[in-house]
Amino acid sequence: MNRITRTFESLKAQGKKAFVAYVAAGDPDYDPSLEILKGLADAGADILELGLPFSDPLADGIVNQMAAERALRAGMNTVRVLDLIRDFRKTHETPLVLFTYLNPIFAYGFEAFQADAVAAGADGILLLDLPPDEAEQSHQFDGNNGLLRIRLIAPNTPPARASMLAAKAEGFIYALSRTGVTGAHGAPSADIGKLVAALQEHASVPVCVGFGISNAAQALAVAELADGVIVGSALVKQVELHATEDHPVEAVLAFAKDLIDAVHSV
């Protein structure tokens, strides 16, 4: 059983909601990035989303764009991201989802990337700029064993399309609390409950909500409505603020722990 599926089954049995943490691979450098991943897992993050640094992250806001730039300057690339996952897997079993654009996968080679990602220890992939129906028309993704395809669904997605995406989702659904690029600017939408309920009618996998969640109060409010809470830019911002310190992981984890505890209190 895939680690993502196993984790959600365990959380459901315990009556708990999931905390999903996003960070950019290799930000601010390889070793501190690895320590941040391990620290988030140890602090209680249920699933980790690992951003694959890319030069043109058009769906990302400025915080995640700068994180990708820092990682690229530090020498990160697709091969090094897989190395990072291998090193993480030496000590931890927390599920890992690769958050990426299509271009790096195309450059690496579709079949080779999928095989190497699974062998390294990745559990899922979220391709930001590949529409699901186009993926279904391509044989490049055949044989994607072990790498669940996580789907993004926005609040302005037409109902019929949202229902189709939800019905075909794997692992979990990443439901956007609002439209726009990633970022902690602006609070989550007041219509999250309606969005989650509509998706749950058609989905056989959990519905997690992200975008705009930057503090424990917001995380708690979303956790009361969804199966999981996704926090990205707010965590990445902590990496940015403390990147030049000797132990940036400590500040990142201190910030994350309040949000993790809030989600797990529901």
Query: What crossing angle do the helices spanning 192-200 and 159-167 adopt, rounded to 10°?
Result: 60
Residue 42 host element (H or E) = helix 30-43
SS3 at position 253 = helix
Active-site residue identified among 27, 46, 60, 227: 60
Q: What is the phi/psi pair of residue 233, to 5°?
A: -60, -35
What does the alpha-carbon distance between residue 233 and residue 182 come to, in Å, rounded to a whole number? 7
Specify whether the CB–CB gap between 213 and 191 falls below 8 A: no
Question: CB burial class (10 A; 0-12, 13-18, 19+) of residue 139?
Answer: exposed
Tokens of 136: 């279904």
**Closest to 238 (Cα-Cα) out of 96, 57, 43, 95:** 43
Active-site residue identified among 46, 49, 87, 123: 49
**Annotation says 60 is catalytic:** yes
**Bond preceding residue 206 cis, omega within 30 of 0:** no
Amino acid symbol at 134: E
**Annotation says 49 is catalytic:** yes
Catalytic residues: 49, 60
